[in-house]
Structures are given as C-alpha cells and as structure tokens.
Structure 1
Amino acid sequence: MTDTLTIASGATAVTVRPSTGRITSLRIADVEHLHQGERFGSFPMAPWCGRLRDGVLDFAGERYEFPRNDAPHAIHGTVRDHPWDIVERTDGSLTLTQDLQPRWPLPGSVTQSFTVSDSGLSLAMTVRATDQPFPAQVGWHPWFRRTLDDAGEPLRIHFSPAWQEERGDDYLPTGRRIDPLPSPWDDCFGMPDGVDVTCEWPGARRIRIRSDARWVVAYDMRDFAICVEPQSGPPNGLNTDPRVVSPDDDLVVTTTWTW
C-alpha cells in the first residue's frame, strides 16, 4: 500500500497515510499546521470517540469488551492506525474505506473522504452497518501546532459552547451539564447548532472549524499542540447517548476547515 498520498489545490497540500487513515500534514503556503509524528497529525475516530468506560459497550442485551488502551478505559475507537483501502483519488480529493471487523464485533464499515481547495479542507465520515444495528460515533482528532514558528505567537481557540459536559475524576462526563470553564481543558463541550471553533495563530493564520457534529472536545494539556475535536457524541456516548446505525440508516458526519 502507498505510504502517503498528497492532495493539493493552489497553496494548500494535505498528506494522508492510507495505512492508518491519518492526515499527516496540512501545509498552507508551505507552513505546516499539524504537529508531526506517528501519533499526531489528525486521525479519525470511529465507531466511538474519546473514552469508553472500562472498555465496555452494553447494547441490546449483549456486553462487548475492548482493549483498555487508556486504562481503565478504551479510547478513540478501532479505526485509527489500521489499514484503509483507497476507493478514489483525484488531484484534490481522496476517499478511503475500512471494514470495522475484526476489532469491532458487529459487521460494518467506515468511509472517510478528503477534499481540498485553495481556502479549505472538507472532511466526511460515514459508518454503515451491514447486518444488525449498533451504536456509533465518528469524529476527528487534529493536533494543531502550538506555534507555527519559533517567533510566532501561540495558538488561541475561540468558541461559544452552550454547555460543558462536567468531567469526573475518571475523565468521563458525569451526566451534568455545566457552564463552560476556562482552560486548561481535556473536556467535551456541547454546540447544539453545530461545532464552530476558530483556531488563531495571531498575526499568522486563522482556521475556522465547523461541523454538523454537536460536540467538540478541546485538549490543551500539552505544550506543543492543541486539539479541537468535532465529534458526533460525548465520551462514553455509545452507552449514555447512543446513535444507532442500521443497514438502512447510516451515520454521516462532516466537518470543514476554512482559512
């Protein structure tokens, strides 16, 4: 499988690694905006986002258990860091797909698409059940560089969420919605009209992230990057707020990054 593929338009170039489904590079006017490294860039989250309590899904009278890769929880789904098949590629677009099995016990697939323009990047993800219904979420986990160059001002994020999911000591929502708290964050926020967050590197670049997803996780506890993660449900939402997909009802979520 090709290690990396680059799609481009004008001064924008986006590099994707099909072996993991990750965006490894977002270069605008030859400036890299994503933190580099095997675990970084921007990766897809499916069929759940964030932490799944104790790595357990209870659904339709069955219990399913997943590796606790963020002990004691399972985190960020099963599709990151696993191979994707190339469905279609043009100079400015790319579509990848991946079967959910064997790590996910219920038959299904995830498809993600990438389309670049001179002034933006459009992303979409679809979860499809091919046999029986199951709960699902999708989201994106970009690691934006804290600074774009040694002399630049650090990244600031601007948004106006309707609420914050109160975070318990186990880093999962307690079920209470509270007024948004100031940074530092490893927190999920509700935006019922759709995610709308602006990432600003003062004097250098503004990237506006919008999505039809209604939750966003902000994570700024590393000194080298800030994450702004549109997602279709809150952490542990497969158990607490499930969106069920079925063979005749896909989950489709989109996000656009414009500058």
Structure 2
Amino acid sequence: MSTDNTTQSASRTRPEGVRLAAGNAEVTVRPDLGCRLGSLRVDGLELLRQGDKYGSFPMVPWCGRIDHGRFRNGGELHQMPVNAAPHAIHGTGRNLRWRTARSSATEAVFTYDLADPVAPWPYPGTVTQQVALAEDGGSLTLTLCIETIGDSFPAQAGWHPWFLRNLGDGGADVIVDFAAEWQEERGADHLPTGRRIPPKPGPWDDCFGMPRGVDVTLTWPGRLQLTVASRGEWVVIYDEQEAAVCVEPQSGPPNGLNTLPRLVTPIDPLEISTTWSWRTLS
C-alpha cells in the first residue's frame, strides 16, 4: 500500500482520534493508542468494548504469544519483552503512537517505524494500516502491511477486536458461529502443541484453522449481525470474558514466528486484510 500522499486532514484529527463516517456507521481510530479502533457504531449502537486497552487493536509484528518471548531468524536469537509472563504477547504496535499519513471522510492510513525506540523490533521496517469504510456504511475493511528496509525477518499481522457480548437495553448476548477445519490443541502454557484436533465447543481461548479464509458470524439476536471475513487462514476466538468476545483474524497461529515463520523480504512484504460487514435485524 502506498503512503506517498501524506496530506493529513486536520479537521478529522482530534485528540480523541480520527473519525470516519458513512451511511449509518461511524468509526473512530486512535493513532495515539496503538492505532486501535476506539469505537465502531452502527445505527447508534456501540459494538466495541470501550477503554484504552480495548476497542480493536492491530497485532503486529506478531500475533498472540511468542514462547518465552524468544524467536530465531536464521542463526540469530531475539528476545522480546515478556509482557504476559512467561511469554511476549500481541506484538509491539499496540503500544505505540502511529502517524496519520492521510485521511478523508471514509478512509485513513497510518504508519509506524518498526524500530521505534519505545517498543523496538530488531529489524528496520515500516508498518501501515489502512482503515476504510464502504461508501454505503455497510462494511469496514482493515489492511495491514509490513515492509522491511533491510534484512528479511519473520513476522505476523492480525487484529484483536473486543466485541461487546451484549449491546444493552435488555437484548440477548451475542452468538458466535463458525466452521473451522481444525483447532490448534492448546497446551497448559497457552501455546499450540503442534497437534491439530477437531474443533471443540467453547468457551475458547483457541486458534482455529480456516484454510479457505476466515469466516465468522456474530449475531446479537434481534439487533445486528456482523461477519468477520479474511483471506487469512487463522483465527483466534476468545470468549472467556464476561464483557466481550474476540474474533481475531491473523496471518499465522500463536507462536508462529517459531513454528510457521513467514519471511518479510525486500521484494515480498506481508499484507493481510479483514472485512467486517453488518446488517441490522430489527
């Protein structure tokens, strides 16, 4: 994705974020809080759990946990900060202030430097996130791109949305529906064991394989239905929290920097997109 156009719409950038709107949908992006979506409202209904740690944040340059925070790139062993002992979790991008490269009424592009001293990655490069609302306000597409400006390195990218379990006003809790081909068996250390097992019923804090692309539906009965789709083949479902459920499309499984490395090279950046589409049921 090109970010040559660095014209920023100051009128759309406020202390509380960059606001996009179309049809009956509004999105607020917080570049100052790890480029997370701080809000997604459809027909006046807030769909994301509120708070600086919630919303929906990009997981980059890795997703989920890294075993004890360590990964190898060839003969080099790297140690990432352990922030979910004994592991490192969810990448560095969510801890940084991103730069707004450009924005309009329905689309914005943000970047950060992988070597940012606040949360450094051992290889120089650039991460870009594009947030785009459809003109009719019926869907939202998020795209992440990781590029190197030097050596090749393994990386992952994905998203960690905190969808509200209940939209309030006496409505029923959300129903999560999906058909995965397998579930990554989770060990006592919360990392995949390497065994693929038939999908088990929830509650989940588990990674699932969907080789034909991620396709998960969330239904708030009588209120709204939202589909999370991606060409990515992996999704983590987390529904062990009372307030929210998470549907996390990503480019590889947890600990994938070690078990299924995908190299970012000077001629082959990593790019992944997810589209959330919705319809009201009332």
| Pairwise CA distance, 1:2 | 4.2
Q: Which of 84, 89, 97 lines up with 2:98 in the alignment?
A: 84
Query: 1 CA distance for matches of 2:111 and 2:174?
Result: 32
| Pairwise CA distance, 1:109 | 1.1
Within 5 Å, which residues of 2 pair with 1:1-259? 2-3=14-15, 4-19=17-32, 20-101=34-115, 102=117, 103-117=120-134, 118-259=137-278
Query: 2 CA distance for matches of 1:51 and 1:127?
Result: 19
Q: For 1:199-257, what per-residue CA distance to the aligned partner results, in whole angstroms no more than 9, with x for missing partners?
A: 11011100011001100000001000000000000000001000001111100101000
Q: For 1:128-169, what per-residue CA distance to the aligned partner results, in whole angstroms no more than 9, with x for missing partners?
A: 011000001000000000100140100111000000000000
Query: 1 CA distance for matches of 2:18 and 2:142?
Result: 16
| Pairwise CA distance, 1:67 | 1.0
Q: Which runs of 5+ in 1 are unaligned?
A: none
Query: 1 CA distance for matches of 2:25 and 2:237?
Result: 25
Q: Aligned letter for 1:23?
A: L
Q: Aligned letter for 2:127?
A: V
RMSD: 0.9
Does the Cα contact within 8 Å between 1:216 and 1:228 map onto a contact in 2? Answer: yes
Q: Sequence identity of aligned pairs in percent? A: 51
Does the Cα contact within 8 Å between 1:93 and 1:115 map onto a contact in 2? Answer: yes
Q: Aligned letter for 1:257?
A: W
Query: 2 CA distance for matches of 1:229 and 1:186?
Result: 11
Structure 2 SS opposite 1:80: helix
Does the Cα contact within 8 Å between 1:145 and 1:226 map onto a contact in 2? Answer: yes
Structure 1 ranges of 4+ moved more than 6 A: none
Query: 2 CA distance for matches of 1:133 and 1:153?
Result: 48
Query: 2 CA distance for matches of 1:25 and 1:2?
Result: 14
TM-score (norm: length of structure 1): 0.98
Q: Aligned letter for 2:99?
A: D
Does the Cα contact within 8 Å between 1:21 and 1:81 map onto a contact in 2? Answer: no
Q: Aligned letter for 1:8?
A: A
